[in-house]
Structure 1
Amino acid sequence: MQVYRRSYAQSIATQDNNYVLQLADQIWDWQNQLMGLDNSAPQHRDHAYNRVLMVQDADNTPYGAYAYFYGTAFGPSTLAGAFTPVMASGGWGMWHELGHLHQQYIWTWSTLGEVTVNIYALHVERKLGITPSNLKVYNRYGPAFDFINNTSATKDFNTMTGTYDDHFTRLVLFQQLYLAFGDQFFIEVNKRGRLEPRNTAMTDKDKMSWFMKTASQVTGRNLTTFFRKWGFRVDESVYATIAGYNYPNPTIEPSTLSEDNTSATLVNGGIYKITSLINNSSVIDVNSSTPNNGTAVTLWTSNIGNNQKWLARKNLDGTFVLKSMADTTKVLDVPNSATSLGTEVKVWSYGATNNQKWKVESKGNNVFSLAPAHAPSLRLDVNNGVATNGTSLIIWSTTGNNNQNFRFDKLN
């Protein structure tokens, strides 16, 4: 619900207010999705009255905007981003204030009040297709990597000083977890947070400890190096507990990641043209602009149609699902989880099964080979190494040849 004074209503009377209200609802829904409000259990049900109050504040308010229980208020400097179509491109203040309503007590320690709120703003930014992110706009990766690479034994995430002491620099830590593990990381952390009883006696170190252990549990990875790089100074027993889980280290250390560091992995949410290195021109193509289950996947001359664009979505285990932009409910699939050499790859409705998950192995310079998660010794392969239109994509034993190497060119 949006509430503003008559004079302001008159000033925006000619805009498409239905669009503005629908977009505000969509942004709220996107943030709720990141909260894991998916109706999978009573604790994860969306609210019956799933909307938020947005009001115009007084003209002389000392605040640009602020949030309170199920409500937000916006002063003169933030009105356009909250109540006009500017919300779709310049609404960071509005996305930020709605994000405050999603922060969980159990992992919001004292230095994060204006930090983790922006996890939800960055999520909206991605959903709206806005690039570069505000982290890049404000050049926060540089100070973040300076801090990460600082080898001082006394550095402390919570007492950063100088150029490090910045909400957006701390935000890079959470963006790196997104880059490493995708949206599902925050969905799972938020779900676990809702299951915990509220304990108002928790200290900052209690909250940090809970987050560190939960992050390792939901990813199934030992994140010790990551948290030490970020100066998480907690009792050593916390690190011992994480080591005791006996999880493997991440395939790629998350503290090395940024939006520009994409050569070693795919970008979660990136849209790609996938080119075969056989001839460096033919691309992976779904043989229909309106694919059905079982539609063939072949090589074809590049034409930049949606049936030649692939959306990469990262799973918590580090694998990727490749969704056809011709129909994002259809994904690259090895039919029936087959392991027979020569099985033709198709597209199929997404079912979160291992035959739809792909392990990506970097060859450098944005070139990758793809192994199906259900048969990781095999590789996606251009049949017989022939680059003519209509050549099937199959699975085959690993050879390392160019018929199993593909260049991923990011389009967004």
Structure 2
Amino acid sequence: MTDTQQRPAIDPNISIEDFEAEALAWLEANAEPRPDASGPIEWGNGEFSVSVFHAMDHDTELEYITNIQNWVIKKAERGYHAIAAPVEYGGLGLSRKHARAYGRLERKFKSHGKHELLGVTTGLIAPTINVFGTDEQKQRFLPDLMSARTLACQLFSEPGAGSDLAGLACRAERDGDEWVINGQKVWSSGAQFAQWGELIARTDVDEVKHKGMTAFMIPLDLPGIEVRPIHQMSGGSSFCEVFFNDVRIPDDLRIGDVGAGWSVALTTLGFERDHSESGSEGAAAGGTWKQLLATAQHEGVTADPVMRDKLMQVYIKDRIESMVNRRAADLAKSGTPGPEGSLGKLLWTEGMYAMTEMISAVLGPKLIADSGEWGTFEWGEHVLGAPGYRIAGGSDEVQRNIIGERVLGLPREPKADTGPWKDVPR
């Protein structure tokens, strides 16, 4: 039986208040309340994590992912994993207001963690298939992706096509009712733990680069696929490179029309850059303003006027980002984020950079010398990881171009790579 068949029916016209009451009762029965976090951090107590990327060995990271996965599957028993998604795909078919109300409630309970692979599966690839997939593909993929029973990664970037994603060279050649894939992808978060991937590949070298690509869903256990984790300077191996050697997939795994891969990729990237739905995982990747303030207070620097001014600059960035994200959520009523998501993503990475500069000034040598003091050396994981997000999901420069061209209506930059892709210098 499916989750939809097992769970009690819910009134599609249920009020926010009644929905919150039902959801709260379920959370109280199935989750552990989070200690009151409205006040300042109590220095020296509990876990202090400000890492941007995970730094775990393979088995520990798999166990961590499985724990989050089990929680999403548990929520799926009541439809709380996909409140605004259609009922036929396992959701509740309610409004985004209902979804945000549940998110506010769940944040009152202890987090089961946060991992890029889960976010990509449920927040990027599932909604992309909802936009571009056929009815058969939606029935096949959406229930298991939204409930995290199946995990999927992005297969977009390449060694020669990162921020210039449209220049990718991984080839998919038609052979009857199949496609043959050859090439390489890189920076694929969680690929070593995923069962599927959303692949963008070059299908027509005679077209201009933006028009010669096609999107596919591809199982990662096929012959000819090799996944290699990449060791990061922050200590973990969250990212992977993936190689394809004569990998065959049927045409019914194609997402969207042939040659429409750029539209599919932009939609996925729009969800990636949209930080308007804050979710329920608690502290954001890279730490919070409250953790930064607590560290500054512990180090006794908050009385210094220059340090106070810098701290307030970080706080202001944090508040502006929150407001922009809420505005983006209001604008994204169609369910597909617009270019405003680029502004939120840019503000987020700028905010992390400001936090890096601030904590470096606050801690000095304690940032690189592990004295065992709580809440100090841990910031090193933030400093090592934060620069990655100035590239991930589109570099800061790409975000500024999107804002300039699509939000402000400025003229496009001159192009030196027009004409068929095969003739573009690489």
Q: TM-score, normalised by structure 2?
A: 0.26
Indicate the structure with greater helix content.
Answer: 2
Work out which of the two has the higher radius of gyration on C-alpha atoms and give 1 or 2. 1
